[in-house]
């Protein structure tokens, strides 16, 4: 017997509407119907009278409904016990490569200070790979960059933390016009993360749509190295604007105004749907990442 089947049945009875129940659960109506059918098959009883409009619980359905409400109440209480337990054990955190070398030591130190009994384990990776690791249970939470409106797996919760303005950058004084198009810049050569980076892929698509070549000057892993290469005049980079603020290369870099390349990227906190007693540490990690990002963006 599946808890999700019980939740679907209770929702339909409470809302007296399959459509409204599906809306409340955030599911497609056919899926709610299948879950109720699954519960009926498991119990070997017809729980809804489908000849009535709207469908109403049968006599045995009402008795099952009362028991299902009790099951859900006890399940919620059980989750509360775990969620409010003292955080301890291992907390596995991830951060996308673009953010990994900018203030993460301070962020992790703040989490460790607040939850001294937690053992922190960290990793960096491409945003898509970190989401996969969370879905597979290898990582508990991660700070990642994705476009607005990104659809995540149903087993993952995602919190939109902040906009991440993405800018093109060049060596100070090397490009002096007030604004540019990609067509004006592509021959300069790009300094980008290797394959797997979402920003690289976005730029590649934009150039391809205009029939422009993808001229790589240097594959450079990590934002700090990219900023240094740009500051030395090796090519044009693409980075979150917030990561330039406070960088040792800030004074040697110009941010370019590019009218036909403005990707709508957001900073996200992603984690497993059920966090138990890791909920507070993960929330603390997300708040620290957002605070750091907001400070740099300001």
Blockwise average pLDDT, block size 10, the chain, 298 residues: 90 88 87 92 91 86 92 82 67 84 76 87 89 90 88 86 89 93 93 87 92 93 89 92 83 94 89 82 89 69
pLDDT of 102: 62
| HSE value, Cβ hemisphere, 13 Å, CA-based, for 15 | 16
170 and 248 in a single domain? The answer is yes
Do residues 149 and 273 both lie within one domain?
yes
110 plus 236 within the same structural domain: no
| DSSP H or E segment with residue 217 | strand 216-219
Q: How far apart are CA 214 and CA 92, in angstroms?
A: 37
**pLDDT for 179:** 93
- pLDDT recorded at residue 229: 94
In this structure, are 104 and 32 located in the same domain?
no
Contacts of 66 (CB under 8 A, 6+ apart): none
What pLDDT shows up at residue 123? Answer: 87
Show the beta-strand stretches assigned E in the chain.
48-49, 56-57, 89-96, 118-125, 141-147, 156-164, 166-171, 190-192, 216-219, 236-240, 253-256, 265-272
The pLDDT assigned to 242 comes to 79
- Residues 242 and 283 grouped into a single domain: no
Report whether 9 contacts 22 (CB < 8 A). Answer: no
Evaluate if pTM is beyond 0.95: no
Judged by phi (left if over 0) then psi (alpha if -120 to 50, else beta), residue 24 lies in alpha
Kindly state whether residues 194 and 126 are assigned to the same domain.
no
**For the chain, how many structural domains are there in total?**
3
Tokens of 145: 């960059």
Looking at the structure, do residues 11 and 151 belong to the same domain, yes or no? no
Q: Are residues 136 and 270 in the same domain?
A: yes
What the block records as the tokens of 84 is 């409010």
Q: Which residues contact 151 (CB under 8 A, 6 or more apart)?
A: none
178 and 157 inside one domain: no
Distances (CA, A) of 12 to 15, 66, 77: 5, 13, 22
d(CA 127, CA 266): 12
**Domain extent at residue 23:** 3-83
User: In this structure, are 173 and 244 located in the same domain?
Assistant: yes
Q: Could you tell me the CATH number of the domain that includes residue 120?
A: 3.40.190.10
Instruction: Compute the distance between CA of residue 108 and CA of residue 292 in angstroms, rounded to an integer.
Output: 11
Q: What is the DSSP string of 164-178?
A: E-EEEEEETTT---S
Say whether both 12 and 53 belong to one domain.
Answer: yes
218 closest CA partner among 202, 236, 205, 240:
236
170 and 251, same domain (yes or no): yes
């Amino acid at each position: 017997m599946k808890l999700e089947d019980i939740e679907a049945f209770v929702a339909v009875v409470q809302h007296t509407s399959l459509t409204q129940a599906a809306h409340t659960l955030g599911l497609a109506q056919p899926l709610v119907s299948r879950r109720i059918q699954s519960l009926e098959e498991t119990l070997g009883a017809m729980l809804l009278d489908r000849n009535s409009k709207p469908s109403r619980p049968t006599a045995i359905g009402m008795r099952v409904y009362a028991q299902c409400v009790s099951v859900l109440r006890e399940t919620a209480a059980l989750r509360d016990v775990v969620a409010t337990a003292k955080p301890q054990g291992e907390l596995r955190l991830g951060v996308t490569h673009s953010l990994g070398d900018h203030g993460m030591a301070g962020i992790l130190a703040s989490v460790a200070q607040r939850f001294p009994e937690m053992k922190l384990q960290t990793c960096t990776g491409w945003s898509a790979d970190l989401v996969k690791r969370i879905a597979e249970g290898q990582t508990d939470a991660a700070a990642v960059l994705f476009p607005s409106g990104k659809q995540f797996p149903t087993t993952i919760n995602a919190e939109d933390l902040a906009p991440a303005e993405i800018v093109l950058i060049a060596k100070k004084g090397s490009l002096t016009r007030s604004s540019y198009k990609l067509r004006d810049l592509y021959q300069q050569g790009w300094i980008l993360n290797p394959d797997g980076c979402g920003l690289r892929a976005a730029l590649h698509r934009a150039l391809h749509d205009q029939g422009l070549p993808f001229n790589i000057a240097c594959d450079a892993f990590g934002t700090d190295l990219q900023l240094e290469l740009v500051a030395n005049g090796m090519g044009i980079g693409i980075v979150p604007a917030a990561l330039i603020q406070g960088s040792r290369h800030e004074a040697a870099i110009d941010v370019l105004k590019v009218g036909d390349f403005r990707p709508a990227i957001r900073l996200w906190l992603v984690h497993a749907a059920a966090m138990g007693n890791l909920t507070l540490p993960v929330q603390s990690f997300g708040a620290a990442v957002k605070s750091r990002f907001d400070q740099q963006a300001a």
